[in-house]
Amino acid sequence: MDLGLGGRGLLLTGASRGLGFATARALVDDGARVLISSRSPESVDAAVASLGGAPAASGLAADLADPAAAEELVGAAVDRLGRVDGALISVGGPTPGSVLEVPEDAWRAGVESVLLGPLRLIRALLPHLSPDAAIGLVLSTSVRQPIGHLAISNGLRPGLAMTTKALADELGPRGIRVFGLLPGTIATDRVTEIEAASGDPSAARARTEASIPLRRVGRPEEFGAVAAFALSPAASYVTGTMLAVDGGVTRAL
Protein backbone atom coordinates (compact mmCIF):
# COMPACT_ATOMS: atom_id res chain seq x y z
CA MET A 1 0.00 0.00 0.00
CA ASP A 2 1.35 3.40 -1.00
CA LEU A 3 0.87 5.75 1.94
CA GLY A 4 1.55 8.82 -0.20
CA LEU A 5 4.42 9.98 1.98
CA GLY A 6 6.96 10.49 -0.81
CA GLY A 7 8.54 13.95 -0.58
CA ARG A 8 6.53 15.03 2.46
CA GLY A 9 8.25 16.69 5.42
CA LEU A 10 7.46 15.91 9.05
CA LEU A 11 8.67 17.10 12.43
CA LEU A 12 8.96 14.54 15.24
CA THR A 13 9.75 15.38 18.86
CA GLY A 14 11.12 12.90 21.38
CA ALA A 15 12.21 10.87 18.38
CA SER A 16 15.84 9.94 18.92
CA ARG A 17 14.78 6.51 20.21
CA GLY A 18 11.76 4.45 21.17
CA LEU A 19 8.36 5.10 19.64
CA GLY A 20 9.30 8.37 17.98
CA PHE A 21 12.34 6.87 16.31
CA ALA A 22 10.34 3.84 15.14
CA THR A 23 7.88 6.25 13.52
CA ALA A 24 10.69 8.23 11.92
CA ARG A 25 12.09 4.98 10.53
CA ALA A 26 8.72 4.03 9.01
CA LEU A 27 8.26 7.50 7.51
CA VAL A 28 11.72 7.61 5.95
CA ASP A 29 11.36 4.09 4.59
CA ASP A 30 8.19 5.24 2.82
CA GLY A 31 9.88 8.26 1.22
CA ALA A 32 9.23 11.06 3.70
CA ARG A 33 11.81 13.49 5.05
CA VAL A 34 11.99 14.08 8.78
CA LEU A 35 13.40 16.49 11.32
CA ILE A 36 13.74 14.70 14.65
CA SER A 37 14.39 16.17 18.07
CA SER A 38 15.05 15.13 21.65
CA ARG A 39 16.83 16.68 24.61
CA SER A 40 20.17 14.94 24.00
CA PRO A 41 22.35 16.20 21.12
CA GLU A 42 24.28 12.92 21.10
CA SER A 43 21.10 10.85 20.83
CA VAL A 44 19.80 13.07 18.04
CA ASP A 45 23.04 12.76 16.06
CA ALA A 46 23.07 8.97 16.43
CA ALA A 47 19.43 8.68 15.36
CA VAL A 48 19.93 10.90 12.31
CA ALA A 49 22.93 8.79 11.25
CA SER A 50 20.89 5.61 11.68
CA LEU A 51 18.17 7.07 9.46
CA GLY A 52 20.70 7.78 6.71
CA GLY A 53 21.29 11.47 7.31
CA ALA A 54 20.43 14.23 4.85
CA PRO A 55 18.32 14.68 2.85
CA ALA A 56 16.07 12.04 4.44
CA ALA A 57 16.76 12.98 8.05
CA SER A 58 18.12 15.84 10.12
CA GLY A 59 17.92 16.65 13.79
CA LEU A 60 17.93 19.31 16.47
CA ALA A 61 18.29 18.99 20.24
CA ALA A 62 15.36 20.67 22.03
CA ASP A 63 13.21 20.35 25.14
CA LEU A 64 9.53 21.19 24.71
CA ALA A 65 9.37 22.31 28.34
CA ASP A 66 11.55 25.26 27.27
CA PRO A 67 9.23 28.05 26.02
CA ALA A 68 11.77 28.97 23.32
CA ALA A 69 11.92 25.45 21.87
CA ALA A 70 8.74 25.63 19.79
CA GLU A 71 9.81 28.52 17.56
CA GLU A 72 13.30 27.07 17.24
CA LEU A 73 12.01 23.68 16.14
CA VAL A 74 9.52 25.11 13.67
CA GLY A 75 12.13 27.41 12.18
CA ALA A 76 14.48 24.48 11.68
CA ALA A 77 11.69 22.37 10.16
CA VAL A 78 10.76 25.05 7.63
CA ASP A 79 14.41 25.65 6.75
CA ARG A 80 15.48 22.02 6.41
CA LEU A 81 12.32 20.37 5.11
CA GLY A 82 11.08 23.15 2.85
CA ARG A 83 7.50 22.10 3.57
CA VAL A 84 5.87 20.86 6.77
CA ASP A 85 3.16 18.29 6.19
CA GLY A 86 2.75 17.13 9.75
CA ALA A 87 4.18 16.47 13.16
CA LEU A 88 4.35 13.72 15.72
CA ILE A 89 4.58 15.24 19.18
CA SER A 90 5.74 12.87 21.89
CA VAL A 91 4.64 14.03 25.32
CA GLY A 92 7.25 13.08 27.91
CA GLY A 93 6.45 11.13 31.06
CA PRO A 94 5.96 13.36 34.13
CA THR A 95 7.20 12.51 37.63
CA PRO A 96 5.78 9.16 38.83
CA GLY A 97 4.00 8.67 42.14
CA SER A 98 0.58 8.48 43.75
CA VAL A 99 -1.90 11.35 43.88
CA LEU A 100 -1.09 12.24 47.48
CA GLU A 101 2.67 11.69 47.48
CA VAL A 102 3.62 13.69 44.36
CA PRO A 103 4.60 17.23 45.40
CA GLU A 104 2.76 20.24 44.03
CA ASP A 105 5.83 21.44 42.12
CA ALA A 106 5.83 18.17 40.17
CA TRP A 107 2.23 18.79 39.15
CA ARG A 108 3.17 22.27 37.92
CA ALA A 109 6.11 20.86 35.97
CA GLY A 110 3.76 18.26 34.49
CA VAL A 111 1.42 20.96 33.22
CA GLU A 112 4.38 22.66 31.55
CA SER A 113 5.66 19.51 29.83
CA VAL A 114 2.44 17.57 29.15
CA LEU A 115 0.07 20.40 28.25
CA LEU A 116 1.79 23.70 27.49
CA GLY A 117 4.84 22.36 25.62
CA PRO A 118 2.80 20.56 22.94
CA LEU A 119 0.35 23.46 22.62
CA ARG A 120 3.17 25.96 22.09
CA LEU A 121 4.57 23.77 19.32
CA ILE A 122 1.21 23.38 17.60
CA ARG A 123 0.61 27.13 17.68
CA ALA A 124 4.04 27.77 16.20
CA LEU A 125 3.47 25.16 13.49
CA LEU A 126 0.09 26.31 12.25
CA PRO A 127 1.21 29.15 9.94
CA HIS A 128 3.59 26.79 8.15
CA LEU A 129 1.51 23.61 7.75
CA SER A 130 0.41 22.41 4.32
CA PRO A 131 -3.36 22.33 3.71
CA ASP A 132 -3.61 18.55 4.24
CA ALA A 133 -1.26 18.29 7.20
CA ALA A 134 -1.67 15.93 10.15
CA ILE A 135 -0.69 16.37 13.80
CA GLY A 136 -0.39 13.31 16.02
CA LEU A 137 0.19 13.39 19.76
CA VAL A 138 1.74 10.36 21.47
CA LEU A 139 -0.23 10.05 24.68
CA SER A 140 -0.86 6.92 26.77
CA THR A 141 -3.54 4.42 27.71
CA SER A 142 -3.91 6.59 30.84
CA VAL A 143 -6.21 8.68 28.64
CA ARG A 144 -8.82 5.94 29.13
CA GLN A 145 -7.88 4.17 32.35
CA PRO A 146 -5.47 5.06 35.18
CA ILE A 147 -2.03 3.49 35.40
CA GLY A 148 -0.72 2.68 38.84
CA HIS A 149 1.79 5.11 40.38
CA LEU A 150 1.44 7.59 37.51
CA ALA A 151 -0.94 10.11 39.05
CA ILE A 152 0.20 13.14 37.06
CA SER A 153 -0.08 11.28 33.77
CA ASN A 154 -3.51 10.00 34.78
CA GLY A 155 -4.60 13.53 35.58
CA LEU A 156 -3.18 15.45 32.63
CA ARG A 157 -3.20 13.19 29.59
CA PRO A 158 -7.01 12.85 29.44
CA GLY A 159 -7.16 16.65 29.36
CA LEU A 160 -4.67 16.77 26.49
CA ALA A 161 -6.71 14.14 24.67
CA MET A 162 -9.83 16.31 24.94
CA THR A 163 -7.76 19.29 23.79
CA THR A 164 -6.69 17.19 20.81
CA LYS A 165 -10.35 16.54 20.03
CA ALA A 166 -11.13 20.25 20.28
CA LEU A 167 -8.20 21.08 17.98
CA ALA A 168 -9.54 18.62 15.42
CA ASP A 169 -12.81 20.58 15.44
CA GLU A 170 -11.01 23.92 15.12
CA LEU A 171 -8.56 22.88 12.40
CA GLY A 172 -10.81 20.54 10.42
CA PRO A 173 -12.21 23.33 8.22
CA ARG A 174 -8.62 24.04 7.13
CA GLY A 175 -8.09 20.40 6.15
CA ILE A 176 -5.67 19.76 9.02
CA ARG A 177 -6.15 16.51 10.93
CA VAL A 178 -5.38 16.07 14.64
CA PHE A 179 -5.40 12.78 16.55
CA GLY A 180 -3.90 10.99 19.52
CA LEU A 181 -2.00 7.71 19.73
CA LEU A 182 -2.29 5.59 22.88
CA PRO A 183 0.61 3.14 23.16
CA GLY A 184 0.39 0.32 25.65
CA THR A 185 3.47 -1.56 26.86
CA ILE A 186 6.01 -1.43 24.03
CA ALA A 187 9.51 -2.92 24.26
CA THR A 188 11.42 0.35 24.55
CA ASP A 189 14.46 1.21 26.68
CA ARG A 190 12.14 2.80 29.24
CA VAL A 191 10.17 -0.42 29.72
CA THR A 192 13.42 -2.37 30.07
CA GLU A 193 14.56 0.06 32.78
CA ILE A 194 11.29 -0.31 34.68
CA GLU A 195 11.50 -4.10 34.51
CA ALA A 196 15.11 -4.06 35.71
CA ALA A 197 14.20 -1.81 38.64
CA SER A 198 11.70 -4.41 39.84
CA GLY A 199 14.56 -6.74 40.80
CA ASP A 200 13.24 -9.60 38.65
CA PRO A 201 12.88 -8.47 35.03
CA SER A 202 11.64 -11.84 33.78
CA ALA A 203 8.88 -11.98 36.38
CA ALA A 204 7.92 -8.38 35.67
CA ARG A 205 7.66 -9.10 31.94
CA ALA A 206 5.60 -12.23 32.59
CA ARG A 207 3.12 -10.30 34.77
CA THR A 208 2.79 -7.63 32.11
CA GLU A 209 2.24 -10.11 29.28
CA ALA A 210 -0.38 -12.00 31.29
CA SER A 211 -2.47 -8.80 31.43
CA ILE A 212 -2.37 -8.21 27.65
CA PRO A 213 -4.90 -10.06 25.48
CA LEU A 214 -2.22 -10.73 22.82
CA ARG A 215 0.02 -12.08 25.63
CA ARG A 216 3.08 -10.10 24.59
CA VAL A 217 4.46 -6.59 24.74
CA GLY A 218 4.49 -4.60 21.53
CA ARG A 219 7.43 -3.92 19.27
CA PRO A 220 8.39 -0.30 18.49
CA GLU A 221 8.02 -0.91 14.77
CA GLU A 222 4.40 -1.99 15.31
CA PHE A 223 3.66 1.41 16.82
CA GLY A 224 5.71 3.18 14.15
CA ALA A 225 3.71 1.59 11.35
CA VAL A 226 0.41 2.75 12.84
CA ALA A 227 1.72 6.26 13.49
CA ALA A 228 3.16 6.57 9.96
CA PHE A 229 -0.16 5.49 8.46
CA ALA A 230 -2.12 7.95 10.62
CA LEU A 231 0.20 10.80 9.57
CA SER A 232 -0.02 9.89 5.90
CA PRO A 233 -2.48 10.94 3.18
CA ALA A 234 -3.74 7.34 3.24
CA ALA A 235 -5.48 8.23 6.54
CA SER A 236 -7.04 11.40 5.10
CA TYR A 237 -10.40 10.90 6.85
CA VAL A 238 -9.00 10.08 10.31
CA THR A 239 -9.16 12.98 12.75
CA GLY A 240 -10.37 13.81 16.23
CA THR A 241 -9.85 10.29 17.52
CA MET A 242 -7.61 8.30 19.83
CA LEU A 243 -5.88 5.27 18.27
CA ALA A 244 -4.88 2.63 20.81
CA VAL A 245 -1.78 0.55 19.97
CA ASP A 246 -1.84 -1.59 23.09
CA GLY A 247 -2.43 -5.25 22.26
CA GLY A 248 -5.97 -4.94 23.57
CA VAL A 249 -5.09 -4.05 27.16
CA THR A 250 -7.38 -1.00 27.34
CA ARG A 251 -10.77 -2.10 28.60
CA ALA A 252 -12.70 1.03 27.64
CA LEU A 253 -14.07 1.45 24.11
The answer to whether residues 30 and 5 touch, using CB atoms and an 8 Å cutoff, is yes
Specify the number of domains making up the chain: 1
State pLDDT tens for residues 58-108: 999 999 889 999 999 999 999 999 999 999 999 777 888 999 999 999 999
Residue 65 CB: number of other CB atoms within 10 A?
Answer: 16
Which whole-number Å values give the CA distances from 216 to 4, 194, 196, 212, 225, in the listed order? 31, 16, 17, 7, 18
Kindly report the CATH number assigned to the domain that includes residue 230: 3.40.50.720
Residue 23 lies in a domain: yes
Residue 172 lies in a domain: yes
The answer to whether residues 10 and 51 touch, using CB atoms and an 8 Å cutoff, is no
- Quote the domain boundaries for residue 230: 9-244
Give the pLDDT band of residue 198 (cuts 50, 70, 90): confident
User: Stretch 151-178: mean pLDDT, rounded?
Assistant: 96
Residue 93 lies in a domain: yes
Residue 169 lies in a domain: yes
Question: E-assigned strands of 41-175?
Answer: 57-61, 84-90, 129-138
Residue 58 lies in a domain: yes
Q: Is 132 left (phi over 0), alpha (psi -120 to 50) or beta?
A: alpha
Residue 253 lies in a domain: no
Q: Measure the CA–CA gap between 48 and 59, rounded to whole angstroms.
A: 6
